[in-house]
Amino acid sequence: MRTPLIAGNWKMNGLSADARALAQAVDNGMEPAQGVETVVCPPFVHMAAVRSVLGDRVALGAQNCADAPEGARTGEVSASMLADLGASYVILGHSERRQYYGEDEALIAARYSQALAHGLRPILCVGETLSEREADRTEAVVANQLHGFIERLDPGTGLGNGVIAYEPVWAIGTGHTATAQQAQAMHAFIRETLASHDAALAARMQLLYGGSMKAANAAELLAEPDIDGGLIGGASLKPDDFVAICATAARG
Ligand SMILES: O=C(CO)COP(=O)(O)O
């Protein structure tokens, strides 16, 4: 069985005191020995402060990593630096990075390979825009993102022990959550698409839903058979909400 995974993407929010207080509140709220993997992904500059207040119930993640191991990459942060800070996850290919920074499948695949090479679990984000959904292109868009990505990975490591997050762009930060049926349909589609490359990997890979997920709708989404967790934006900045989502995931 796949262990539920709840990851908080704090995006570009908060100063250091806010990050420390949020991490402390999340850590304090966690039940011991929950049956859920929990991760928080603060901005790079707050990661060390957050690490210092987290116990072992909450893992540390980053919101991106460099596409090269070291050297001339001004402004980037390498996977080895993140691992050295105590990170164990990294979000890659978020739609905000694709939209505002022009990240494409080739770049995201290079970042992903770096993450795996340094022992981080990458959380790859895929998903369609509203206009793509309205044009009935949702499956085609997500299939293209996945195939284009997988064919650029090192065939020796492939997707490794990564995680995929389905984040419909129209649901991110809008309050318009996908219905449980819409989300489940896409998660099942993603699992089938992965199975066409590697059936065993498709069966074990955790697939997360992201897009206006909160305490009030988590149970319905997480009850779906192919939804193994959540990538939480806005609600991850509210410790009570985030802890409640983790508790829901732990209850199965
Ligand atoms: O982008 C997201 C997580 O990566 C989702 O953000 P919201 O939960 O704020 O919609």
Q: Looking at residues 136-162, what average pLDDT do you find? A: 95
Beta strands in 69-162 (DSSP E): 87-92, 121-126
pLDDT surpassing 70 at residue 176: yes
Write out pLDDT tens, residues 34-63. 799 999 999 999 999 999 999 999 999 999
Atom 2, ligand 1: residue with shortest CA distance: 233
Q: Which residue has the tokens 């993603």?
A: 190
| 28 assigned binding-site residue | no
β-pairing, 37-41 vs 163-166, is: unpaired
Among residues 58, 78, 151, the alpha carbon closest in space to that of 118 is found at 78
Give the span between the Cα atoms of 67 and 79, in whole angstroms. 9
Residues framing ligand 1 (Cβ under 6 A): 9, 94, 167, 172-173, 210-213, 231-235
Distance 76 CA to ligand 1 centre (A): 23
Q: Is the pLDDT of residue 139 over 70?
A: yes
pLDDT value for 252: 79
Enumerate the β-bridge partners of residue 40.
8, 60
What are the tokens at 124? Answer: 């790859």
State pLDDT tens for residues 69-93.
Answer: 999 999 999 999 999 999 999 999 9
How many Å apart are CA 42 and CA 125, to the nearest integer? 17
* Number of other CB atoms surrounding residue 146 within 10 Å: 21
**pLDDT band for position 33 (cuts 50, 70, 90):** low
pLDDT of 183 higher than 80: yes
Name the residue with the closest Cα to ligand 1, atom 3.
Answer: 233
pLDDT of 135 reads 97
Report percent pLDDT > 70 for the chain.
Answer: 100
Q: Which amino acid is at 236?
A: S
Residue 1 has a pLDDT of 83
**Amino acid symbol at 115:** A
Question: Is 9 assigned a ligand-binding role in the annotation?
Answer: yes
Looking at the predicted complex, does its ipTM rise above 0.95? yes
CB-based contact 215:171 (threshold 8 Å): no
Tokens read off for 36: 């859920």
Q: What are the E-state strand segments in 93-189?
A: 121-126, 163-166
Chain segment 186-245, per-residue pLDDT in tens: 999 999 999 999 999 999 999 999 999 999 999 999 999 999 999 999 999 999 999 999
| Best residue for ligand 1 mutational test, from 124, 128, 170, 212 (most atoms within 8 Å of Cβ) | 212
Quote the DSSP letter at residue 86: T
Nearest atom (ligand 1) to Cα of 210:
5
Q: Is 214 annotated as a binding residue?
A: no
Tell me: is residue 127 an annotated ligand-binding position.
no
Q: How many A from CA of 105 to the centre of ligand 1?
A: 20
Q: In whole angstroms, give the CA distance from residue 214 to residue 235.
A: 6
**Residues assigned a catalytic role:** 94, 167
Topology classification of domain 5-251: TIM Barrel (3.20.20)
* Closest alpha carbon to 63 in 170, 221, 210, 171: 210
